[in-house]
Amino acid sequence: MYHVKEAFYTLQGEGAQAGRASVFCRFAGCNLWSGREADRESAKCTFCDTDFIGTSGINGGRFDTAQALADHITALWPQGASHAVPYVVFTGGEPLLQLDSDLIAALHSKGFEVAVETNGTVPAPEGIDWLCVSPKGNNPLAITQGDELKLVYPQPDAPPERFAHLAFRHFFLQPMDLSAVAIKHIATDGAETVNATTAYCMANPQWRLSLQTHKIAGFE
């Protein structure tokens, strides 16, 4: 049984694949936070601004089999788009609590490339085509290599230096979005955060700047 909060067709908004047409599939549930505001302060990740509770979002639901969910995702990809490889991004919450080899295989059989945005604390199944890890705080990583490491910045207990030696193809710093949540010990000036992230990337050119273009442009 797969529990999907929401699924929709959009453009990837951030990181190395920014601008690419994608089906986003957000799984319900996370291992670092319950999703309830009452639990935020004691959570292992305190700055999440995403609703991943339940299955009530757009095109959300419960799917008994990998094939059923693969069919659901395929129906969201535009028909007749023969010049583009279908692309699905699994996110959450924490998608690796649910994504498995059966679902990956079912999507590959339909021609999809499979991408994942994970906090990196859960081992990944084989067959993922694009693996993006976004570390959260001092939670230990079970995934230390992949395509993209995208670190939300600043995190006092997750400095970029801690991850610079890992075996990822791309390293991104993304300014923390402070508009939705108030976070202790972190400056709440969005411009200041962007400036600090930019300055770090310029001083440490291993890192590239990632901006959430979907929020800037106003699409989901």
DSSP codes of every residue in 144-185: -EEEEEEEEE--TTS-GGGTTTSEEEEEEEEE---SS---TT
- Provide the pLDDT for residue 7: 98
Look over the chain and give the mean of its residue pLDDT values, rounded to a whole number: 93
Catalytic residue among 45, 46, 172, 201: 45
% of the chain exceeding 90 in pLDDT: 85
pLDDT 10s digits, 71-98: 999 999 999 877 899 999 999 999 999 9
Average pLDDT of span 110-123: 98
24 is catalytic: yes
Catalytic residue among 3, 8, 10, 50: 50
- Provide the pLDDT for residue 185: 45
Domain ranges of the chain: 2-217
117 is catalytic: yes
Could you tell me if 77 and 52 are in contact, meaning their C-beta atoms sit under 8 angstroms apart?
no
Catalytic residue among 49, 157, 189, 220: 49
161 is catalytic: no
% of the chain exceeding 70 in pLDDT: 91
Catalytic residue among 14, 94, 117, 147: 117
Q: Are strands 113-118 and 145-153 parallel, antiparallel or unpaired?
A: unpaired
Has residue 165 got a pLDDT over 90? yes
Alpha-carbon distance values, 53 to 5, 39, 79, 88, 89 (Å): 7, 13, 30, 21, 18
65 is catalytic: no
The rounded distance, in Å, linking the Cα atoms of 67 and 90 is: 16
Please give the single-letter amino acid code of residue 1: M
Catalytic residue among 24, 27, 52, 163: 24
pTM for the whole thing? 0.93
Nearest of 133, 122, 130, 8 to residue 72 by alpha carbon? 8
Catalytic residue among 6, 27, 48, 147: 48
- The CATH number given to 2-217 is 3.20.20.70
3 is catalytic: no
Instruction: Let me know the angle formed at the C-alpha of 9 by 2 and 129, rounded to the nearest 5 degrees.
Output: 65
165 is catalytic: no
Q: Are strands 21-27 and 2-11 parallel, antiparallel or unpaired?
A: antiparallel
Catalytic residue among 3, 108, 170, 214: 214
Has residue 182 got a pLDDT over 90? no
Catalytic residue among 25, 30, 132, 201: 30
Average pLDDT of span 190-196: 89
Q: Of 43-52, 186-195, 198-207, where does mean pLDDT reach its minimum?
A: 186-195
